[in-house]
Amino acid sequence: MKVLVVKNQKDADRQGVKIFRQAYKHGARTFGLATGGTPEGLYRELCQSDLDFRDCIAINLDEYVGLDGNHPQSYRYYMQSNLFNQKPFAETYLPDGMAPSAKVECTHYNWIIATNPIDLQILGIGQNGHIGFNEPGTPFTSTTHVVNLTPSTIKANSRYFKDESQVPTQALTQGIGNILQAKQILLMAFGPEKAQAVKEALTGKVTEDLPASVLQKHPHVTVLLDEAAAALLPSEWVTEHVQHIY
């Protein structure tokens, strides 16, 4: 695991583009993408870059159940607005939140991932350690599934809706087993509210109670943090594992 700490999120976004560029240079053509506040700046930087994704595939982590792609808070809408409209891909995949059968949709999405192995997967981390919508207690072997969102996740996502009552209570998400199949993973975390989860995920016990901790077992993970998200990492651990980029 490579841990990079930069001064602020803007510097992290620029560093993230460098990681994308290196992956592309070395043959990456299938990118696993995330949504939410964490990767927004990265996507802005990618849109301003000279990278061309027209020969690439994008496979997203998740989608809300009950929202179609035209809903302003759906992840399809988010991806179109923040990246795909400006940087077209050859193919873009997200779970279908309106699928008549969630079971069939999960099987189909697992097939998409298996058919298009992900070269570089982007991840954020929730305050409870979730990755994708894999909440604490999710088996590390899980594949694409329907998840009931926890109250803390619903509350965190309510900032994107008029009020908390409008936040969907379920989502379709890639499982942790799917995520671990990616050849390379980039985990990004910013701000003091992520510091405790980052500390536990990187330096604590590998446990399903903290889903992101499983990344300690992956052979090719880069963790990109701003100073605030890295603030609780033990000093002796930082000395051994962290590279500061300023």
Question: Residue 111, Cβ neighbours under 10 Å: how many?
Answer: 11
Write down the catalytic residue from 11, 13, 62, 226.
62
At a CB cut-off of 8 Å and minimum separation 6, what does 36 contact?
A: 124, 157
The conformation of residue 99, written as its DSSP 8-state character, comes to -
User: Is the CB of residue 29 less than 8 Å from the CB of residue 56?
Assistant: yes
Q: Count the neighbouring beta carbons within 10 Å of the beta carbon of residue 229.
A: 27
Catalytic residue among 96, 130, 157, 200: 130
Rounded CA-CA distance 204/130 in Å is: 15
Q: Annotated catalytic, 62?
A: yes
Out of 60, 128, 157, 178, the active site residue is 128
- Cα dihedral sign for 39, 220, 120, 21? positive
Roughly what angle, to the nearest 10 degrees, separates helices 40-48 and 9-25?
Answer: 60
Helix (H) or strand (E) holding 33: strand 30-33
Known catalytic membership, residue 135 = yes
Query: Is 45 marked active-site?
Result: no
Cβ atoms within 10 Å, residue 61: 27
Helix (H) or strand (E) holding 41: helix 40-48
E runs forming strands in 174-214: 184-189
Annotated active-site residue in 11, 96, 105, 135: 135
Q: Is 182 exposed, middle or buried (0-12, 13-18, 19+ CB in 10 A)?
A: buried
Which are the catalytic amino acids? 62, 128, 130, 135
